[in-house]
Amino acid sequence: MRKHFKSFAVASVLAMAVAVPALGQEVNIYTTREPGLIQPILDAFTVETGIAVNTVFLESGLIERVQAEGASSPADLLMAVDFGALIDLVDAGVTQPVESEILEAAVPASLRDAEGNWFALSGRARVVYAAKELDLDSITYEQLDDEEFRGKLCIRSGQHPYNTAMFAAYMAKYGEDATRSWLEGIKANQARPAAGGDRDGARDIAAGVCDISVANSYYYGLMASGSSGDEQKGWSDAVKVILPTFEGGGTLVNVSGAAVAAHAPNREEAVQLLEYLVSDAAQKLYAEANFEYPVSTTAEVHPIIAEFGTLEPDSLSLTEVLPYRKRASELVDEVNFDTFSN
């Protein structure tokens, strides 16, 4: 009885902390990533600080909405799932620089804007899912176009930011002509149209549609943990995860991140939330809630993700990849990457 009463009392205190922000403080997030993925972290922030967090999910059109709202926009923090999208926010003039010793100490210089306009919050590796029975323990990104995978590869749309970043990194290393040839080879290897999401690759491997797929690392954690349901747990049971590398290099790592909005009405609270998101406590929650790699070097990687092996990020920085994104996207259309013709 006492134990149950104590649990009820603690739960009541936490509920009151969430429901009653300190002095009416709040921070408003516009995000292109599903709020549910980071909700446990936002809830923990509210419990610790008393600052309420309101989220608006925008699958597309984030920049256009903020620009249309202008100086009266309620947005304080803008969150994106891809470094290119973070750059786009800056280029569109909807962010403002932030100076913070906490942010600069926690986030490596290669994972934040030099002027403080955006900061990475978590990382994800672009990995390969392979059928468990497949005799394949290592692979390079360059091998994705190998003939041994003809009709055996599943991948989402080439225009998705996750893939565009990978193609741009390849172009930064090898140039446009080599990238065109590589994309044509990957297209020839497709077992079905380039579409759907990353988890669909695991699903189709389980169904025997393909032998390998290209996906983000954290999706495996979501499936393998059972948090996405028994069906997706079955998909993860059918695959193994390989950390690919570029020849002579490392694994491609993309980031999610955030920027303070140009007209943030609650700027101080927005910065406070940003600083919380890179703390060891929040980075641990990132790993637990969404199976992403922490940007903080002192935070632990989730055990499911750690099973992939030691992640050695490629030396090519995100800023070096950026200039090639537009041309990589154009090449996707030029080779008709998303048009299935096998």
In degrees and rounded to multiples of 5, residue 54 shows phi and psi of -110, 135
Is residue 219 a known part of a binding site? yes
Task: Write the Ramachandran bin of 196: left for phi over 0, alpha for psi from -120 to 50, otherwise beta.
Answer: left
**Beta-carbon count within 10 A of 268 CB:** 12
Tokens of 181: 């040839």
In 10 A of CB 22, how many CB atoms? 12
| 218 in a known ligand binding site | yes
User: What gap in Å lies between CA 300 and CA 321, rounded to an integer?
Assistant: 27
Q: Rounded to whole angstroms, what are the CA distances from 323 to 88, 175, 178, 328? A: 12, 12, 17, 10
d(CA 302, CA 222): 11
Residue 170 and residue 195 in contact, taking contact as beta carbons nearer than 8 Å: no
- Report the distance separating Cα 208 and Cα 201, nearest Å: 11
Amino acid at 211: D
Q: Hunting for tokens 């009709």 — which residue is that? A: 151
Distant-in-sequence contacts of 266-270, Cβ < 8 A, 24+ apart: 266/25, 266/26, 266/27, 266/28, 266/76, 267/76, 267/96, 269/25, 269/26, 269/27, 269/51, 269/76, 270/27, 270/76, 270/77
Known binding residues: 218-219
Known binding residues for Fe cation: 218-219
